[in-house]
Amino acid sequence: MEEEVKKPGGEAGIIMELPESNVHSDIFRDLIYAAGKPQVLKYGIDFKVFNHLSMPISAEEVARRIGTKPEPTSWLLDMLVIIRAITKDGCNVRQWHEPGGYYPEV
């Protein structure tokens, strides 16, 4: 006897087909990233990360100066790079230097 294959469906076993989206998929990614930006920036400010980025510096050195563990500090710095609050060149990070750029108050 063959086992009946169940298909995903809504009420009464009817499979719902969603309409094709006219919205570019990047907007959803941007919304997700934008939601976390203020919190990441807040952590950078709370830990006074920006006070140590006037010159290129490694994540390990930032961690030593602010009294945190290197690995989580590196993650925070990477997130700050992703939201374009700072830049990264190889293993070193520094403040974002763009004409008219925003520099958080610390």
pTM: 0.61
User: Domain of 53?
Assistant: 39-97
Residue 87 lies in a domain: yes
Residue 102 lies in a domain: no
User: How far apart (Å, rounded) are the C-alpha atoms in residues 76 and 82?
Assistant: 10
Residue 92 lies in a domain: yes
Residue 67 lies in a domain: yes
Residue 12 lies in a domain: no
**CATH number for the domain that contains residue 78:** 1.10.10.10
User: How far apart (Å, rounded) are the C-alpha atoms in residues 78 and 43?
Assistant: 12
How confident is the model over 19-78, as pLDDT tens digits? Answer: 777 767 677 667 776 778 888 899 999 999 999 988 889 999 999 999 999 999 999 999
Structural domains in the chain (count): 1
